[in-house]
Amino acid sequence: MEVDQRKAILLSLLFFSPIATIILSDAEYNLDENLQYKTEASSGTGIIDVQGWQINDNWMYDGYLDVGDFIASSGVSTNIESLYGTLEKTVTEIYISEIDNLSSITYKLESIGSYSDNNVNLNGQNGDIAVEMTTIEIIRASDMAVTSQSAIVDIDFCADVLWWCVDIDVAELNVTNSYSPALEGLDFPLSVGETWGSDYHQETEYSGESDYVDIPEDSEDDNSSSWSVVSQGYSGVSYTGCSQSYNITTYNSEGEESGYRWYCPAIRGDVKSSFIESIGFAAVHELTAYQPSTRSKVIEIDIEYPLSPVDTNISAWITVTNQGTPVANQTMEFRYEIEDDIRQIITDENGTYHLEFNTGNTPDSSESDSDFASHGLISWIPDQNIIGVSSLSMDLNVHEVDLIARNEGVTVERTRDNNTITLDSSVGFNAISGDSLVFSVPVVNKGLISSPPTQLRVDSPDGNTAFTYVPSLNSLEESRVEINWTVPEFQPYGLAYLEFLIDPEENISEDGNKSNNQGLFSLYVGALPTAILSSPNEINTLEEVVISGLSSLEPDGGDFICEFEIEIVGGSFNNILEEDCELEWSWDDDGNYSISLIITDEESDQSTTQTSIIVLNRPPEITLESNYESIPVLSEVTFEITERNDLDTQNPNSPVDILWNNTSCKEGQIGLKCTITPNSEGEFFIGVSATDDDGETVFASKSIEVTNIAPYDGEIEVFLGTQKLTPDNRGVFAAKEGEILTIRGWASDSVNDIDDLRFSWMPDAENNANIIYYHEGSESIINHSYNYTGLQLATLQVVDNDNATLVFDNGEEMLIIPIEISNIQPSIVALNQRLPVGEGEKLIFDVGISDSLNDIESLYSCFDIDPLTDSDESGLTDDDCDYNSNYMEYTWEDSDAAPEFIIFHVTDDDGASASIDIEIDVRNIRPTAVATVDEIKPVQGNIISLSANGTIDSEFDIENMIYHWDIDISIDSDNDGDPANDVDKEGRWVQVIYDTEGKKNIKLTVYDESESNSVYMVVDVAKSPFDIKTSFKQNSASILLIVLVCGAGLVLAQRYRESKELESKNEEGVMSIDQLFDRTDRKITQEKEIKNESRKEIEDFISSPSKGIDYDVLEEDKMPINNILSEEDIEALFEE
C-alpha cells in the first residue's frame, strides 16, 4: 500500500475523533481498608494470538474417562464410573491439505491414551477393565480449527475366574468425525468475555465389534456449537508459565455446557481440559509435562494493522532468525489462505521480507461479537517444516483509537476459607461477607493506532471512587486493572456494583467510540445457606424411606435448590434434584450408604451436609425335598431345592448361592439339585446352605432311610508271582504242577458292610474238599499249588454281615474257578566240566536236574554209555539205562573202544523226559619201552634171554602190545640200507645166541594201537675159551680193527664217562611221566643232549666195552597225556 493511500484511510477513520493525551503514573492506590487496585499491561500485538507448532511437540497428561453413563446407556450392567490413566499427544506431521476447498497448512496430532480400573463389575462378572484409545486430529495451522477427528478405542476386560484372569474383548470401536466448516474451538486472538459460535455439518462413521456395547450406525447431521472465554487465571493445575490460563467453555446447540479447556500460551496448548468424546464419554486431563521440539530457527510475522478494515491493502514484515541471528536469503512461502494468496518469498540481508496484501472481505466461519472475522497468516519453510503464524482481525467499523471497558471481560477471583476459585458466568458472580475478591477489569484498544495513556475511574461496591493509570495501548492490546475488595461483615444482601470508566475526562479525542468507555459489573452479595438433612438411621432392604431437606435455611431470603447425592449399590452415587426438597428412596441391597444434601441458593452459594443410613439384609428362603423317602444302599436319590427366594438379590438369575454339605453330588456341590448314592446303611442326612449376595446364609436338611443290599460285583484274579493269568475262551486258567498260584477275590458292598465281608475258599474242591480258607474284609487272597495234572476246581462264596450272599455274574452264589494244571518236564540244568583223559583214567559225570517239587524225588536218571548199542533191546539205541543215577565215574582202557559221546536222560512220573549228549575225549597213551638181559656178562655162543618186562602202557594196550627186537643194530639183516630197523625177533621175551664176542647194541621197539617207542641196550658178549693162535688167525681182522679204533676210543672215553655219570643220577629202572615233568627244562635238555651223544658213540664204536641199559628218549614232545605210574608199579617192573 502506498503511503498516501494509508494516510487517506487513517484520516477518514479519524475524522470524527478528537485528539487528547493524558499521562498518568502506574501506581497502586488504597481506596479504603477493603479496596485496593493495580494495573497490568498485556504484551504482544494481540491479547493471545495463535501460535505455531512443530513436529515432535509433545504434551503428556494424567486423566480419566467418565464412562459410567456411556456404558450404562448401552444396556450393560456395571459399577464402572471412571477409568484412570495417561494421555500423550504428539505432532507427527505438517503437510498441505485441502480444507473447506482451500489449500491449507495442516497439523496431524496423534494421541495415545491408556486407562484402566480394577475390581469392577461387568454384567455380574468381577474383574479388571482396560481401555486403549488412539486419536488422530487434523488441525488447520492458521487458526487451530479441527477439520476431522478419528479414534480407535480398544476395551478389554480381565474376568476373575477363581485364581485366574480370563481376557475378554469387550469392544473395539473405530469412530471418525468430519466437520465442515472446520471447528474453531479457539478464535484467536483470545480475550476474556469474547464469545463465538459456528454452524457446521458433521459426518460420523462407526466400525468395530463388541459383545457388550452396541456399535452405532453411521450418521450425519447439522449442528451448532458456541464457545466463550469465561475467565483468565489459575486453572487448578500447577505448571510453569500457566498461572494465567484462559478458560474456554464449549456449549452445545441447546446452550448447555459440554466441555471446557484451559488454554496456556506458555505451552501452546491446553493445561487442563474436559470434553465429551465423539464416542460418547467424558475425558478429563491435566498436564504433567510439555516437551517442545527445538526451535533454533524462528519465523515471526508483524502485521501493520492487527485490526484492519475489510478489502484493505496493508503491510506485513516476515523475519527469520536462527538463535536470534537474522537468516538472509531464506526461501519460504507466504500464505494468506482465506484469500488463496500464496507466494514464494526470500528474506533480505536483515532476514526480513516486506510485503503487501489485501485483507479481503471473507467472513469468519465462526461468528463473533467482537469482530467481523479473524484469519491467520502463515509463513513456512516447507523442507524444514518450520512455521510462523499470526492472526489478522477485521471489522466493519474501525476507529483510529477505540478504548473499550469490557465488563463482560471482567474476571473475579474469590478466596474463601483459603480456597481460591475463579468466578465466571457459568458459576455466577457472588460473594458473602468475609470473602476476598480480586476483580480483573480489562481495557482494550480496538483502534488502528496506539492509544494515549489515560486513567480508569473505579467506583467500588461500597461507594468509594479511585483512579488508576492505563498505559498507552497498541492496536488490540489489552491492559488489566486488578481491584481487591474484601466484602464487609455487614454488607447488605443484594447486588453490589463495580463501575469503571475509561478516560473519565474525555481527553482522548482520537477515541472514535466513547459509548463503550464505561462498564458496569454486578456481583451478588448474600449469605451461605444451611443444609439440614433428616432420614431414619436403619431400614430393611426394599423399604421405602423419605429423605428430607425441608428444614434447610437460606438467610438472605432467596430460594434454594436441593440436590441429593445418594450412594447406591456398587459404591457409585446418584445426584437427584428435588424441587420440593424431599426424596423417596429405597435400597435393594444391604450396606451402609452415604446420603448428602447440597443446598444451592440463587447466588450459587452452597451448603452441604451428610449422613448415612444402615440398610439391613433380608435373609434368603429355601425349601428342600427328595424324590424317595427310602432307598437301598448304593442307589441314587435326588435332593432338590424346590423353592428359593431372595427379595433383595442383585443377581436375579441366581438369587442365592447353593452349597451342599456332601462332596459326592453328581451335579457338584453348587446347584439346585444333588443326586447322590448313599454308600452306608441306616438313616442318611444331607444338608444344604443358601447364601445370598449379601453373605447371609440359611441352612436346611433332610433325611431318608437307606436299607441293606447283598454284596455285588464279585470278581477274582489269578496270579503266578506278579504275572496275572488270563483265562482262555472257556474261562479256564492254565498253570503248571507245583507252581504257587495266588488267587485274589473281592466284592463291593456298602461302606458299613464292605470290611466285614466273609470269603469262603475251597482251592481244591474235587480232590481235597477238606481244605477251606476263611477270610473277612473287602478282599481275600489265598496261595495254593497243585501237584498233579489235569483240570482242578477252586470255589469261592461271599456273604455280608446280614447273611446276604453275593450272586456272581453266572447267577450262582458260588463261583467255580477252573484251573488246568499241566506237567512240568524235567530239565537238565548243569553238567560238570571235563578235560580229555588218557586210557584207563577215571571220568566223572555229575548232571544237575530239575523238575517240580513233587516230581523231583521220583525222577528216573540214566547214563547210556554206548549210544550205538541197544542194550535193553527196546528198538532204540539212545534210551538204554546202563547206569541209573545222575552221577557216574567210569574208565575206558582203550581209546579206540571209547565212544565219542554218551547219553544222559531223565524221565518223570508222567513220562516226560529230557536228555543230553555228553562228549568224551579218551586219548591213547604212548608206550614206554623197557628192555633187560638175563646176564650181565654173557658168553659167546651161549643163549641170552632178552625181556621187555616193565614196558609201560595202559592195561589193555599192555595185553595187546607188539614187540620188535633188532638184536644188533650194526647189522642190516633185512638189507634195506638201515641196520637199525631190522625185526630180528618178536615177542615180549626172546632168546638169542651171539657167535661173536663184543658189545652188541640191541634195539627194542614196542607198538600199541597207534603209538610206538624204542629203547637201546648194549650187551658185552664175552669170548668163549679158545687157543690164542687159532683165535688170532680167526680174528686177525677184528683185532686189527679194534687196535685202530682203540685210539679213538681213548679220546672219547672221558666224554663217555661223563654221560654215564649223568645217567647214573637217574633212578635205576624206568622213570614215570610225572617224574619226568617234575624235572626242570634245563635238566631234560641236558639229558637229551647226553643221550644223543651217547647214541652216536655207540653207533661209531660198536665194540666199545660197556655195561648197563641206555633208554632212548626220542620224540618227547609226543609223550602220552597223564601217563601216571605209581611207585609200586615201577618196583614190580624191575622185579620182573
Give the pLDDT of residue 1032: 53
Whole-angstrom distance, CA of residue 800 vs CA of residue 806? 8
Homologous superfamily in CATH for domain 3-44+401-526: Immunoglobulins (2.60.40.10)
Q: In CATH, what class is 827-923?
A: mainly beta
Is the CATH code 2.60.40.10 the one for domain 297-394? yes
Rounded to 5 degrees, φ, ψ at 65 are -110, 125
In 3D space, the residue among 287, 367, 276, 261 whose CA is nearest the CA of residue 48 turns out to be 261
CA distance 409 to 875: 145
DSSP 467-519: EEEE----TT-EEEEEEEEEPPTTPPSEEEEEEEEESTT---TTBS-GGGSEE
Buried/exposed 10-22: b ≥16 CB within 10 Å, e otherwise: eeebbeebeebeb
* CATH architecture under which domain 621-707 falls: Sandwich (2.60)
CATH topology of domain 712-822: Immunoglobulin-like (2.60.40)
**What are the C-alpha distances in Å from 158 to residues 330, 419, 795, 1097?**
57, 41, 64, 123
The sign one gets for the Cα dihedral 235, 241, 245, 250 is negative
- The amino acid at residue 5 is Q
DSSP, res 191: -
- Report yes or no: 1063 and 1090 within 8 Å, Cβ to Cβ: yes
State the cell numbers at 1010. Answer: 597207534
Topology (CATH level 3) of domain 538-616: Immunoglobulin-like (2.60.40)
The yes/no answer on whether domain 932-1129 falls in CATH 2.60.40.10 is yes
The whole-angstrom separation of Cα 638 and Cα 678 is 11
CA 584 – CA 575 distance, rounded (Å): 13
Cross-strand pairs, 796: 761, 815
CB 267 within 8 A of CB 239: yes
Given this model, what pLDDT does residue 831 score?
85
The list of the chain residues with pLDDT below 50 reads: 1-46, 1027, 1029-1030, 1033, 1062-1136
Cis amide bond preceding 652, omega within 30: no
Separation in Å, CA 48 to CA 264, 266, 316, 392, 976: 10, 11, 19, 12, 156
